[in-house]
Amino acid sequence: MTTFVLIHGAYQGGWIWKTTAEHLRTRGHLVLTPTLDGCAERKGGLRAGIDTESHAAEIAELLFYQDLQDVVLAGTSTGGMVMARAAELARERVARVVFADALALRDGEALPDIVKRPTAVNTEFGTGPSRQDFETRLFVDLEPKVRAWALERCTPHPIAAMQAPVKLDRFWDQAWNASVIWCKRSSNPPVAHQRRAAERLKARWHELDTGHYPMLSEPAALARLIAEG
């Protein structure tokens, strides 16, 4: 049995991993899908001070307080930023990291350096696309029932996590058992960005012929790649 912690991206919560987690659990694995501060069912806590580093600290503390060892961390989209920092903070508890069509920023880089968001709707503490943009662009390749289910659950993401540079003091200088999954129909994060991460980490490279939300469009295939590394 392996312990997996699946880290969601922007506008999401642990809910987005539901079907992928079920596939992993049928293999006998322990799977945790935490929702990060200020997101999804925790949206009532959206406030100043939530950023990539505070989200990563949550994951590192989860590993500590649950006394989890030899954990596989899998992050998608902005969850890749959180995963890298969490892995750095809890190095002794992490066996493997998986970037699933995920951002892999270097120390001091910020999301806008890599990704342009054409229709961001900003508030004081949160940011996110319009519902129309979700429906006609971000989720356009999803099956209608899955698209409707996901649309009901999307929430703004803490704005600092989408704008501030990340802090990664040690991650990129350490040796990791890593894999990178590129979704071929996804434009962001760009393939060159994901190739850069794979080369630096000497990671295994995988491809899925789907869009940016493989946990919604190809959950069984994604679960297999996460499990097998």
- The residue with tokens 């989200």 is 55
Give 195's DSSP letter: H
pLDDT in tens, the chain (229 residues): 999 999 999 999 999 999 999 999 999 999 999 999 999 999 999 999 999 999 999 999 999 999 999 999 999 999 999 999 999 999 999 999 999 999 999 999 999 999 887 767 899 999 999 888 888 888 989 999 999 999 999 999 999 999 999 999 999 999 999 999 999 999 999 999 999 999 999 999 999 999 999 999 999 999 999 999 8
Contact 66, 54 (CB under 8 A): no
The residues facing 182 across adjacent strands are 207
Closest CA to 220 of 71, 18, 7: 18
CATH number of 3-228: 3.40.50.1820
Smallest Cα–Cα separation from 150: which of 162, 161, 160, 142?
A: 142
**29 to 1, 5, 72, 87, 166: CA distances (angstroms):** 5, 11, 11, 20, 31
| pLDDT on residue 119 | 66
CA distance 108 to 218: 33
Sheet-wide strand order for 121-122: 121-122, 126-128, 157-158
Q: Residue 123 burial (CB < 10 Å; 0-12/13-18/19+)?
A: exposed
Q: Residue 131 has what pLDDT?
A: 86
- Which pLDDT value is given to residue 99? 98
Burial (0-12, 13-18, 19+ Cβ within 10 Å), 131: exposed
Q: What distance in Å separates the CA atoms of residue 197 and residue 193, rounded to the nearest whole number?
A: 7
Order of strands across the sheet with 94-102? 30-32, 3-7, 71-77, 94-102, 178-183, 204-208
Q: Do 9 and 102 meet the contact criterion of CB atoms below 8 Å apart?
A: yes
Domain map of the chain by residue range?
3-228
